[in-house]
Amino acid sequence: MHPKRSTRNWLALAALAVIIAAVPAQAEILNGDFENGGTDWAYNGPATWGNGFPPAGGNPDGYAVIASPLLDSGGIGCLTQTFLCGEPGGATVCSITLDFWLAPDNSGDPTSGVIKVFIDGQELFSFVGETDGWQTATVTVPCGVHVIDICLEVADGDNGWRACFDNVASVCEDTVAVNENTWSNLKGLFR
């Protein structure tokens, strides 16, 4: 092989490696926009509750819905998925976002409906009561393999609620340590 071609090939390979290394780890939550209905999600909740995946009306288009009945509505219903958010270890954090909308269906108690987000069985987010349109929640965990549960919890009694979810996504990002002393020392140099 000609020496100049060999050098060019190595340079091209090195440039490609730099580009790949600069790209953050890809999100691994599957079908988080629910455009493919309930594919990749499992429902776990009371048999008397409803759940579905309408193709329109989300934020935008398809979305997931969990609904409790008006009578004897107490309990919790969740959509669950196991996912990989980057590689575990190192100075990385997995940022998980989702859009939600919580609305009463003739609920007697305005605080009886709660949106909850669990990661690996630990509650990391909750929102009580009706929302005014779509809202966004964000939680962070170390990068790696996780189980997400996006849930509607309803207090015992006659409290019908409807929880809608859309745009569930994750991304593993590098974190940068902050050394406050360094900045203070730098400021002191220029005074």
Number of CB atoms found within 10 A of residue 102's CB: 19
Tell me the pLDDT band of 175, cut-offs 50, 70 and 90: confident
Question: Model confidence over 57-73: pLDDT tens digits?
Answer: 999 999 999 999 988 88
Number of CB atoms found within 10 A of residue 94's CB: 25
Q: Which residue has the higher pLDDT, 157 or 125?
A: 125
Given this model, what pLDDT does residue 190 score? 47
Average pLDDT of the segment spanning 148-177:
93
Tokens of 80: 């669950």
Q: Is the preceding peptide bond at 69 cis, omega within 30 degrees of 0?
A: no
Tell me the pLDDT band of 106, cut-offs 50, 70 and 90: confident
Q: Is there a contact between 48 and 76 (Cβ–Cβ < 8 Å)?
A: no
Mean pLDDT lowest among 15-24, 84-93, 151-160, 180-189 = 15-24
Question: Model confidence over 37-55: pLDDT tens digits?
Answer: 999 999 999 999 999 999 9
d(C-alpha 130, C-alpha 123), whole Å = 20
Q: List domains and CATH numbers for the chain.
A: 24-175 (2.60.120.260)
The residues facing 172 across adjacent strands are 25, 94
d(C-alpha 102, C-alpha 133), whole Å = 8
The residues facing 1 across adjacent strands are none
For residue 2, pLDDT over 70 is answered with: no
